[in-house]
Amino acid sequence: MKKIAVIYSSKHGAAKQYAEWIAQDTGADLFSADGLKPRDVADYDILVYGGGIYSGGIRNLDFIRKNIRKKFDGKEILCFGVGITIDNAANREQADDINFTKQMADVPHWYFPGAFDPAKQKGLDRRIVAWVRKMIDDGDANSFGATLAGYFDHGCDLVDRNRIKPMVERIRALSA
């Protein structure tokens, strides 16, 4: 059996929840990306990295991006991103362009639906949400805009354990 590490970067808990479920279902060890160093996961054969998506980018994905060719060479890497717009093909394509190009292009990855609570947004995040919300009102959003406006106004919790199944199957196959 290969050793598996599941690493997460989460602001509001959705990516952490998925990471916990994936670790449970694959017998992996769980790590927060906060303060984590590549040497902390040097002994692992398989690295699963997941984070919340903020303005298109998977949080702290640089932990993988910066190390994939050197310190993580020879390891199996799989990633997931958690967001509230990713059940739309155009939005997934945009997330692919931001996160999975160049050295990340061949990394198998999945997107899982997240959660959003308008009452918990502060500072820059709050301003970004207000700005995107205005773009939707101005008609500058894609076909997902109306759904997103509803999430921004009323909040949403789309987190769903069933969604991890295909990723868990792939991890199990790699670790056998």
Task: Using CB under 6 A, list all residues that contact ligand FMN.
Answer: 10-16, 52-56, 82-86, 114-116, 121, 125, 128-129
| Shortest CB 54 distance to ligand FMN, Å | 4
Give start and end residues of each alpha helix (H) in the chain.
Answer: 14-26, 62-65, 89-99, 123-137, 145-154, 165-175
Three-state secondary structure call for residue 169: helix
Cα→Cα distances 112→41, 65, 79, 164, 167, Å: 24, 20, 11, 8, 10
Q: By C-beta, is 11 or 170 nearer to ligand FMN?
A: 11
Minimum CB–partner distance for residue 136 and ligand FMN (Å): 13
Cβ of residue 70: shortest distance to ligand FMN, in angstroms? 27
d(CA 91, CA 82): 12
Q: Pick the closer one to ligand FMN by CB: 121 or 147.
A: 121
* Residue closer to ligand FMN (CB basis): 2 or 120: 120
